[in-house]
Amino acid sequence: MSTIVVTGGSGRLGRSVVQVLADVGHDVVSLDRVASPGLPSRQVELDLLDAEATREAVVEIAPDAVVHLAAIAVPGSRPDAEIFDVNTRLAWSVLEAALAAGAARFLVSSSPTVLGYGSPGWRPESLPLDETHPAAPWNGYAASKLAIEEIVQMAVRRHPEVRFGVFRPCYVIAPEEWHGAPTQQGHTVAERLADPALSAVALFNYVDARDAGEFVRAWLEHASELPSGETFLVGAADALIDAPTAEALATHVPAAAGAAASLAGTAPVFSSAKAERLLGWRARRSWRTELHPVAAGREAADV
């Protein structure tokens, strides 16, 4: 099995990525500012903005692959300029360290927010949204993620010996959040379902962190078969709304109503068909199967 560095391994996504990779026998090393109790990996506490320290640590580990997840993860949590600066510097630091260490595969986490939904006047060209939809970032977080995607494409052109990849995980829900722990926006999954406006701003997108971890595993296993630099949307197979998706969009996101008719039943607004086609990956979990009855405030039969 491979030695794999995961940056941000203590985060809500990172913990599941580390667990999935460790479960299939990889030697995983988490690089993060803080350690996470019980993480099944070696953990190195490190400020990844310190490029020299990051380079030394990654070169010493000599990984076969690097999965870069570390970032300021919540749009608006800090000033736009700071988010853009930190996230792009993190990407440069980790990329240069990975190249110095001779890693053969490099996968970076981006975001569906690069598509620009939620901005004033935004309308989808078509639904479901996929990797061909034009990018139109409208805040510092989304702009940083699109810049990171371009950094990766630059690296693709400069380093043909390395396989690069980008994935855009939807709104990540960690396992404990199905049991009532707050999500990254501060409210619970049950609250997002009870008040559709909370999820409407993200077009009802989400993904279980374990499913995202399984995407990472699939990409690492198939990277050599893919064109370098491929980008993937990674989301659940339904929408985070207890109503038909088209109906919910018409009610809560009128600008998308015209394109919503193409979405049947509870289909997601974001398509992961490319990941299924090229990697055989499909999300296995949904809020209907994972939300704990107590957390949902309803009987198990109603979930």
Domain boundaries, the chain: 3-172+208-235+269-285
- In this prediction, the residues of the chain whose per-residue pLDDT falls under 50 are 298-303
Strand partners, 129: 270
At 303 the pLDDT is 35
At 292 the pLDDT is 86
Answer yes or no: are the C-beta atoms of 48 and 26 closer than 8 Å.
Answer: no
CATH number of 3-172+208-235+269-285: 3.40.50.720
Residues 43-96: tens digit of each pLDDT: 999 999 999 999 999 999 999 999 999 999 999 999 999 999 999 999 999 999
Cα separation of 203 and 257, whole Å? 11
Answer yes or no: are the C-beta atoms of 89 and 49 closer than 8 Å.
Answer: yes
Residue of 205, 208, 228 whose CA lies nearest to 278: 228
What are the tokens at 182?
């707050």
Answer yes or no: are the C-beta atoms of 97 and 59 closer than 8 Å.
Answer: yes
User: Measured at the alpha carbon of residue 300, what is the angle toward residues 297 and 303, in degrees to the nearest 5?
Assistant: 75
Q: Which residue, chain included where needed, has tokens 């979990």?
A: 285
